[in-house]
């Protein structure tokens, strides 16, 4: 009971004390967003255009919905010729690889990449790649795209503007993942364990997908730092807080439909308010490298799995497994994983 009250208090506090709205000029900048056609991503795209970005590329599965989002952005910002809609299906490796290739070949620079695409499935769903779809989209494909964009992001560093930014949309729920939710028997890998239908629980799977992203942020941050300490690409993650979006659209029970809207009105931030955190994370400097950003601060995670010795061992193990999986999908991964 005490834990529930504490949790509701945190939600209410987040609802009352909203993040600062970023006002940094992005004149001349090129921005990429995945999952930018609705919810948090759409609101982030609107902000990037209003902040003066020269180009905002939105990667999304449905070109039709993407064009609808583009029209919305252009209407609200009164800016045309900024937003571009590029097809990207995060449930398929070949689509991710093709999207990254297009980025690397067609645009001269990439200043900000906000990897925001994500799902929360009510039921166990397999992707065409053979992985549970939450794991596929939120974790494996997102990490693959991040690695494939690193070279372009590195090359976009400037003497005046500094390093480019790579930000992952994460979730504070990763703090509540337990070690036993990542590992089963000794002869079963972490990915095999979290991919098994017998271990699937919707909310737990979402949390697991996000702690795996947090593990990846730590590892990619090391890759993006030179031996002399120079940061080539600023890598971080951000949690927008509890927001009223359509992430839970598959949860359509009578109780959820009846009480969900009321709960969000009382405790939830709007998508616009949540997007402030995502955008501000992409504008942070090197002090944010390898860190988790939420509520306009870097929270103390020392008491949670991510910071424990057990967590560090699981991080190394999970990263090794993820890299081995991605190497089978793209021959570039081995080369890209070399420190700069």
pLDDT in tens, 79-137: 999 999 999 999 999 999 999 999 999 999 999 999 999 998 999 999 999 999 999 99
End-to-end CA distance of the chain: 50
- Whole-angstrom Cα distance, residue 147 to residue 150? 5
Whether 72 contacts 65, CB under 8 Å: no
Write out the catalytic residue numbers.
206, 210
What percentage of the chain exceeds 90 in pLDDT? Answer: 76
Check: CATH 3.90.180.10 for 26-336? no
pLDDT in tens, 240-274: 977 766 655 544 554 455 445 555 555 567 889 99
Would you state the pLDDT for residue 261? 58
pTM above the 0.85 mark? yes
Partners of 84 in beta bridges: 57
pLDDT in tens, 54-64: 999 999 999 99
Assess whether pLDDT exceeds 90 at residue 186: no
Would you state the pLDDT for residue 9? 42
Would you state the pLDDT for residue 235? 99
Q: Residue 328 is encoded by which pair of tokens? A: 């089978």
Q: Averaged over 232-243, what is the pLDDT? A: 91
Q: Exposed (0-12), middle (13-18) or buried (19+): which is 263, by Cβ within 10 Å? A: middle
pLDDT in tens, 10-41: 655 555 557 899 999 999 999 999 999 999 99
Would you state the pLDDT for residue 303? 83
Q: How many CA atoms lie within 13 A of 131 on its CB side?
A: 24
294: pLDDT confidence band, cut at 50, 70 and 90?
very high
Would you state the pLDDT for residue 124? 97
Would you state the pLDDT for residue 259? 47
336: pLDDT confidence band, cut at 50, 70 and 90?
confident
Sign of the C-alpha dihedral, residues 190, 305, 278, 225? negative
Angle (CA) 39 44 46, round 5°: 100
Residue with token string 């308010």:
273
Residue with token string 């939450």:
134
Query: Looking at the chain, how many residues does it have?
Result: 340
Average pLDDT, the chain: 89
Q: What sections of the chain are H helices per DSSP? A: 2-16, 39-50, 63-77, 93-106, 133-134, 142-155, 190-195, 202-223, 254-267, 271-282, 309-327, 332-336
Domain ranges of the chain: 26-336
Rg of the chain on CA atoms, in Å = 19
- Whole-angstrom Cα distance, residue 135 to residue 125? 10
pLDDT in tens, 309-335: 999 999 999 999 999 999 999 989 988
216: pLDDT confidence band, cut at 50, 70 and 90?
very high
Would you state the pLDDT for residue 109? 97
Would you state the pLDDT for residue 160? 74
């Amino acid at each position: 009971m005490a834990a529930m009250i504490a949790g509701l208090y945190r939600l209410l506090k987040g609802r009352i004390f909203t993040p600062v709205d970023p006002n940094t000029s992005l004149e001349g900048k090129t921005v990429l967003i995945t999952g930018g056609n609705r919810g948090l991503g759409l609101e982030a795209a609107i902000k990037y255009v209003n902040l003066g970005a020269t180009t905002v590329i939105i990667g999304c599965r449905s070109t039709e919905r993407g064009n609808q989002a583009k029209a919305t952005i252009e209407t609200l910002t009164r800016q045309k010729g900024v937003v571009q809609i590029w097809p990207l299906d995060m449930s398929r490796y070949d689509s991710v690889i093709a999207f990254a290739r297009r980025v690397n070949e067609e645009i001269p620079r990439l200043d900000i990449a906000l990897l925001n695409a994500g799902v929360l499935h009510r039921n166990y769903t397999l992707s065409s790649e053979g992985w549970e779809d939450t794991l596929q989209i939120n974790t494996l494909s997102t990490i693959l795209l991040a690695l494939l964009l690193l070279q372009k992001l590195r090359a976009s560093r400037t003497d005046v503007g500094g390093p480019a930014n790579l930000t992952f949309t994460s979730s504070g729920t990763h703090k509540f993942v337990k070690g036993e939710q990542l590992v089963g028997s000794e002869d079963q890998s972490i990915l095999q364990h979290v991919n098994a239908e017998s271990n699937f629980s919707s909310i737990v799977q979402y949390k697991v997908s996000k702690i795996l992203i947090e593990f990846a942020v730590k590892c990619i941050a090391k890759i993006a730092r030179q031996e002399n300490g120079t940061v080539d690409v600023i890598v971080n993650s951000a949690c927008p807080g509890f927001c009223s979006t359509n992430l839970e659209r598959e949860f359509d029970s009578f109780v959820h439909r009846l009480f969900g809207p009321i709960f969000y009105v009382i405790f939830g931030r709007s998508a616009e308010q949540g997007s402030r955190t995502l955008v501000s994370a992409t504008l942070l400097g090197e002090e944010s490298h390898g860190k988790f950003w939420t509520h306009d601060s870097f929270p103390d995670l020392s008491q949670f799995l991510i910071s424990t010795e057990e967590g560090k061992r699981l991080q190394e193990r999970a990263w090794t497994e993820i890299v081995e999986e991605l190497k089978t999908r793209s021959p570039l991964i081995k080369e890209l994983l070399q420190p700069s």
